[in-house]
Structure 1
Amino acid sequence: MFAHILEFLGRSPPDPVRLPLTGSHWPVLIVLTTYLVFIKILGPMFMQSRKPYDLNGVIKAYNIIQIAYNMILLVFAVYFMVGPGDYSFKCISNLPLDHEYKNWERWLSYSYFFNKFMDLLETVFFVLRKKDRQITFLHVFHHVYMVYFGFLYLYYYGYGGHAFFLITFNVVVHVLMYTYYYQSSVNQNLRNDLWWKKYITIVQLIQFGIILSHSIYILRQDDCHTSRLSATWGSIISVIFIILFGNFYLRAYIIPQKKKTSRRVH
């Protein structure tokens, strides 16, 4: 097994075009290591004797940028898949290297990957605002996983293809999520009163359900030449995230609601 892992890690990228941060493991690992050291060690030490920073203006701007970025990416991604990319959703493969729209596939895939680095700033804001309770295992695991798995896919399987179809659902979730964050930053009193807040988690769970279903569908087709590792790992990580986000939804919404109902009865 160890030999297979070394063989996998030693593979050359199938696409010779290497965009920034996709040329080797090291840049991505350095960024993620710096991120983890800051949010777990250096950041809390720096903030220990300081008051929380007022970053409301910065966060508003950040949320607006994220909403616009993900909306534009979503429009171009859907247009590309059903238009010039001509994806067959029964079996999605990366476009050939000489395809006339290959650069579309490269830059759209890369735009999503780069956005995962932008997402890391969210945790930095938590640290600087002393919102340590929001830096949960789910939060950190999700951010680190999305960056590194995104890199692994681009490096070992190229741009686009099956994973590009799957991440489009995540872009939809991000539009909803950052819209909620923006509304919360505009009026802090609305943070816990926005009626659709819990539906963001429901949409996330639906997203993972779709990814799991489509990945299993791909794996059941012996004649489909798409990335089977992408479909396999998509299935596994979807189950993990369904458990993690399901647990979050249970603790954040179901259990508190039951406690309120119980108090009213008694």
Structure 2
Amino acid sequence: MIGYLQELLSRTPPDPVRLPLTNSHGTVLAILISYLLLVKVVGPKLMESRKPFDLRGVIKVYNIVQIIYNVILCACSAFLMLGPGNYNFNCIENLPLDHEWKNFERWTSYAYYFNKYMDLLETFFFVLRKKNQQISFLHVFHHVIMVFLCYWYLFQYGYGGHGFFMISLNVVVHIMMYAYYYQSSLNPSVRANLWWKKYMTIIQLVQFGIVLSHSTYILRRGECTALTTTARAGTIFSTIFIILFLNFYIRAYVLPKKKVVQKTSK
């Protein structure tokens, strides 16, 4: 196992084009460790004796930027996969290095990776607003693992391919998610009562279900050996996320209803 990890970390990236934050394990790990310390230890400690910041205007702008960013990313992804990239969804491989649309694939893949760093800002907003209860294990784990998985994939397998398919699904979810955040930011008092709030978690579960199904399909075919590792990773992490998000859904929406029913029946 140790030998495999050493080989994995010392492997030469398959794509010679290394965009910012895609060439150093140490840099990415340092960023993620700093993030964890700031949002779980340093930030809450500094805010302990301070009043929460009013960031309503900043958050509205942030949500709008995220919506526009992800809409453009979604359009670029669909265009590439269904158009000049001509992806074979039975075995989605990276475009060859000499393909005329390779740079488009690189930058679209990298744009998604960079967006995972943008997502980290959401946690800092919670810290500055003293919403520490929202900095849950699920929230932090999801942000950290998405940054690391994106980096790991780009470093080990290059830009595009099976990972590109999986991130395209996530982009669609993010458009709906930040649209919800923006709507709720217009009137925070109605946030808890927005009728489609719980469906965001269901949509995320559907996304993970699709990734799990497609990854399992690739592994069972056995013909697409180049994607075996990424398909295994997709299977493992989609299963983990299904468990975590399903647990959140049950605790947030199912158990409270049962308590209400029990109270009214007494």
Task: With the length of structure 1 as denominator, give the TM-score of the two structures.
Answer: 0.98
Give the whole-Å Cα distance in 1 for the aligned partners of 2:99 and 2:221.
Answer: 25
Instruction: Name the counterpart of 2:112.
Output: 112
Instruction: Name the counterpart of 1:176.
Output: 176
State whether residues 32 and 144 of structure 1, in contact with CA within 8 Å, keep that contact through their aligned partners in structure 2: yes
Question: How much does 1:264 deviate?
Answer: 2.0
Instruction: Name the counterpart of 1:156.
Output: 156
Instruction: Name the counterpart of 2:242.
Output: 242
Instruction: Name the counterpart of 1:223.
Output: 223
SS of aligned partner of 2:88: coil
Give the whole-Å Cα distance in 2 for the aligned partners of 1:224 and 1:152.
Answer: 20
Give the whole-Å Cα distance in 2 for the aligned partners of 1:226 and 1:265.
Answer: 58
State whether residues 77 and 108 of structure 1, in contact with CA within 8 Å, keep that contact through their aligned partners in structure 2: yes
Deviations, residues 170-228 of structure 1 (Å, cap 9, x unaligned) = 11111111111111111011111110000000000000000000000011122214321
State whether residues 13 and 155 of structure 1, in contact with CA within 8 Å, keep that contact through their aligned partners in structure 2: yes
Instruction: Name the counterpart of 1:232.
Output: 232
- Kindly provide the amino acid, as one letter, of the partner of residue 42 in structure 1: V
Q: Which runs of 5+ in 2 are unaligned?
A: none
Give the whole-Å Cα distance in 2 for the aligned partners of 1:81 and 1:244.
Answer: 30
Instruction: Name the counterpart of 2:144.
Output: 144
Deviations, residues 148-180 of structure 1 (Å, cap 9, x unaligned) = 110000001000000110111111111111111
- Kindly provide the amino acid, as one letter, of the partner of residue 134 in structure 1: Q
Give the whole-Å Cα distance in 1 for the aligned partners of 2:72 and 2:197.
Answer: 23
State whether residues 94 and 226 of structure 1, in contact with CA within 8 Å, keep that contact through their aligned partners in structure 2: no
For the aligned residues, what is the CA RMSD?
Answer: 0.8
State whether residues 73 and 111 of structure 1, in contact with CA within 8 Å, keep that contact through their aligned partners in structure 2: yes
Question: How much does 1:27 deviate?
Answer: 2.0
Residue correspondence of structure 1 range 49-88 to structure 2 within 5 A? 49-88=49-88
- Kindly provide the amino acid, as one letter, of the partner of residue 145 in structure 2: Y
Give the whole-Å Cα distance in 2 for the aligned partners of 1:209 and 1:95.
Answer: 26
Q: Which runs of 5+ in 1 are unaligned?
A: none
Instruction: Name the counterpart of 2:203.
Output: 203
SS of aligned partner of 2:98: coil
- Kindly provide the amino acid, as one letter, of the partner of residue 237 in structure 2: I
Give the whole-Å Cα distance in 2 for the aligned partners of 1:7 and 1:26.
Answer: 16
User: When the two structures are aligned, how many residues end up with a matched partner?
Assistant: 266
Give the whole-Å Cα distance in 2 for the aligned partners of 1:222 and 1:185.
Answer: 47
Give the whole-Å Cα distance in 1 for the aligned partners of 2:45 and 2:3.
Answer: 41
Give the whole-Å Cα distance in 2 for the aligned partners of 1:257 and 1:170.
Answer: 29
Instruction: Name the counterpart of 2:167.
Output: 167
State whether residues 47 and 128 of structure 1, in contact with CA within 8 Å, keep that contact through their aligned partners in structure 2: yes
SS of aligned partner of 1:227: helix
Task: With the length of structure 2 as denominator, give the TM-score of the two structures.
Answer: 0.98
Instruction: Name the counterpart of 2:13.
Output: 13
Deviations, residues 82-111 of structure 1 (Å, cap 9, x unaligned) = 001100111100111111110111001000
- Kindly provide the amino acid, as one letter, of the partner of residue 137 in structure 2: F
State whether residues 81 and 87 of structure 1, in contact with CA within 8 Å, keep that contact through their aligned partners in structure 2: yes
Question: How much does 1:33 deviate?
Answer: 1.5
- Kindly provide the amino acid, as one letter, of the partner of residue 71 in structure 2: M
Structure 1 ranges of 4+ moved more than 2 A: none
